[in-house]
Each structure stands twice: as C-alpha cells, then as structure tokens.
Structure 1
C-alpha cells in the first residue's frame, strides 16, 4: 500500500479485531504461472498477544494454482470503507477521499492434514452458524461432509509481517471529523455507520463529541 505513516497501525490486537470482524479474505499469490487471486473465509486462531495465525481452506485446484506452501502469499482483509464527500468539509476543502480499514497479511501457508482440514471446516461452519436460531452442523451427516471435504485443502497462515492502515480522516481538524462521523451515521447516499464506528475508535473523545454537538 501507499506509504502513509499517519494512517499506519502496528497494533496486533487491532489487526486481530479487523480479521475477526471481517472474515471474507482475498488470497493473492505470485506464481510461476502469474498472479492468482481467490476469495475465502478465514478464522482467527487463539495465539499469543503478539502473534497472528489464521486458518482457512481452498477448493481444489486452487491449492495448485496458488502453489500453496511453496512461497509467501498475501492475504487481504478489508474492513468498512466508504466515500467521504467534500460536502462534509469546510467550503475551502473540496477534494473528496475514501476512508478505509485494511490489513495486508504475509506468510507462507502450512498445508493441513485431511483430519485437521475437516476440523477447521467444522469450526468454520459452527462459527458462522452460531448466530442462527437453529444452527446447522457438519455432524448432521459427517460421512457425507467428509466426502465433500476431500475437494478442499486446509491451510494455516502464521503471519510473519503485516501492513495495516486505518485511513480515517486523521489529517482533518476535530470539528471536521465530527461532521464526517455525523454524516456517515445518517447520510441517505453515502451513510456508513460501521465506518463511523471505526472513526470513533481512532478519534476517541473528539469523535464522542459528534453525538453531543450539533453540526454547524
């Protein structure tokens, strides 16, 4: 990503939260056959506070197309993002922008055994089904599920380094930040409450005043 020091975060818990809340990831590999990209859900594993590890799976033949396990891959986690209109700025500021929270994760994938892959697939289903009123589990027909799982390859990525950006109007004056947050909360065209929440996290007390002070 473009070098923007005032938007960079090196905070591992922040990156973990981003992964946890935005599990639909893009996997990018530079292979002998060219650049390959695929999209799969990921689950954050329990690790030490300063470590990041994710597990996922790919459908065959994506494991061969990505040459998984043979080189470093990039996994992109994209959180809330959205257009920031200059209508929300003072009149003299007329250049729009796009706010976002994004993490680029790097590492060489470990290929999981067939047994561990099925465990990860089961956890993946259970993780997302836990929010449903009547959760569905692979245990409903484990034999059939294991047959389907043979068409997938499980992976674990111990993240060796990451590049994470929280581009959330840190270069704007506090009163402008408050106007942006207000607009993101209610604007009928470009409103994005989740992005407003990310701005509140970054701007702290300054953002908290947005709900208390009327827009000028």
Structure 2
C-alpha cells in the first residue's frame, strides 16, 4: 500500500466510518496452490472489546470459499470515489499527473460461522440495505422453505482484523493554490470527480489549518 505520511488520517474512527460508508469490499485470499482468489461482497465492521471484526457471507463451493477453507488469511479492500489529477492544473506544470483516491485495507483471519449465525447475518444485511422495516425482502418476511433452501448455498464468515491500513490520497502534499484549483477542475467534471472535490473541500481545514 502507498503509505506516505501526509496521505494518512490520524483519527482511526474516520477510517472506520469510511469502511461503513463503502461496505462493498473486495475479499482477497490465496488457495492451497498459492493462486490468488477474490470476490466482492458487502461486509459490516464492528468493534468488540477493542477488536475489529468484519462480517458477511459468500456463496459455497466457489474458488474463494474453498481457498478460505484452506488458508484463512484474508485481505479486504474498501474503496471510494477516485479521479485523475492532471498536472496541467498545477502552478508548476513540470511534474507528473496523478490519481486521487481513498482506500482502506483490512488484513485478518477468517472463520466460517454456523447456520444460526448465518441467519442473523442475513437478517442484519437485509435490514441495513433495505432500510425499510416493512420491506417484503427482509429475511424474516420470506417463507421458511425459501430461506432454508437458500441457506444451503451460502456461508457466513467473520474476519478478526489484525491490521488496518489506509491511504487517503487527496493532494495534501500540494500548495493551497494547487489544492483549490484541483477542487475547481474536479467540480466541473461531475460524477465521481465532483465527489472527490467535495471530499477535498470538506477536509481542507485539516490540510491547511494544522
């Protein structure tokens, strides 16, 4: 991971809040033959007695399920909006263009959960993402026959996070004039670029009022 000091957030809660805001993680592992595997799934991050845990579920009998059975070490990658930054926007244009982005890497050890725990994970998942207590798509609103048949195809997991790293690369190493110009240029583009600009604007006081 890119780990220059000025791209670090000193408040770990800000990093955890980023994970909660971007829960669709890339789970990466290595199987018994040392081949990489990966899948993208929504996960929750929780703290219990000072320890961070990730929780979610995956489909059974996939390459990643088999790999995590053989090797429980996992890397979960969380990413947000990103944007190309042109050096033509800088006061000094004789430097390289770059990319602004935010990313969190959680390394840990995965264990698979019981069927009872799986059901609770699904309840939490549907309640959180449906965000509607009356939705017919909540697990407990579905027929038991349908739920039980689908439980056979998936498995819940929990990852005990051993290491949490991040990079919030948002032009913090530039002058205020460059910083403001980057924000202006990104705002004109809309979409993810504007989202990056809005994040930079919200964080500007941290960069220049230290």
**CA separation of 1:133/1:203 partners in 2, compared to 1, >3 Å: closer, same or farther?**
farther
Aligned-pair distance for 1:101?
0.5
Q: What residue is the counterpart of 1:214 in the other structure?
A: none
Q: What residue is the counterpart of 1:32 in the other structure?
A: 32
| Structure 2: runs of 5 or more not aligned | none
Q: What residue is the counterpart of 1:83 in the other structure?
A: 84
**CA separation of 1:197/1:135 partners in 2, compared to 1, >3 Å: closer, same or farther?**
farther
Whether the 8 Å CA contact 1:181–1:207 is kept in 2: the answer is no
Q: Which secondary structure does the structure 2 equivalent of 1:202 belong to?
A: helix
Q: How does 1:105-116 map to 2 (within 5 A)?
A: 105-116=106-117
* Matches of 2:133 and 2:183, distance apart in 1: 31
Q: What residue is the counterpart of 1:212 in the other structure?
A: none
Q: What residue is the counterpart of 1:23 in the other structure?
A: 23
Q: Which secondary structure does the structure 1 equivalent of 2:68 belong to?
A: coil
How high is the TM-score relative to the length of structure 1?
0.83
Whether the 8 Å CA contact 2:32–2:71 is kept in 1: the answer is no
Structure 1 stretches of at least 4 aligned residues deviating more than 4 Å after TM superposition: 131-135, 205-208
**CA separation of 1:65/1:156 partners in 2, compared to 1, >3 Å: closer, same or farther?**
same
Whether the 8 Å CA contact 2:91–2:178 is kept in 1: the answer is yes
- In the alignment, does 2:72 pair up with 1:56? no
Whether the 8 Å CA contact 2:30–2:71 is kept in 1: the answer is no
Aligned-pair distance for 1:89?
1.8
* Matches of 2:75 and 2:87, distance apart in 1: 33
* Matches of 1:53 and 1:110, distance apart in 2: 11
Could you list the per-position Cα deviations for residues 176-197 of structure 1 after superposition, in whole angstroms to 9, with x for gaps in the alignment? Answer: 1111112222225x76222123
Q: What residue is the counterpart of 2:205 in the other structure?
A: 204
* Matches of 2:136 and 2:176, distance apart in 1: 45
Q: Which secondary structure does the structure 2 equivalent of 1:9 belong to?
A: coil
- In the alignment, does 2:6 pair up with 1:6? yes
Q: What residue is the counterpart of 2:157 in the other structure?
A: 155
Q: What residue is the counterpart of 2:104 in the other structure?
A: 103
Bigger shift: residues 192-201 or 72-81: 192-201
Aligned-pair distance for 1:46?
4.9
Aligned-pair distance for 1:6?
2.1
**CA separation of 1:70/1:204 partners in 2, compared to 1, >3 Å: closer, same or farther?**
same
**CA separation of 1:186/1:134 partners in 2, compared to 1, >3 Å: closer, same or farther?**
farther
Aligned-pair distance for 1:24?
0.9
Q: Which secondary structure does the structure 2 equivalent of 1:169 belong to?
A: coil
* Matches of 1:115 and 1:140, distance apart in 2: 17
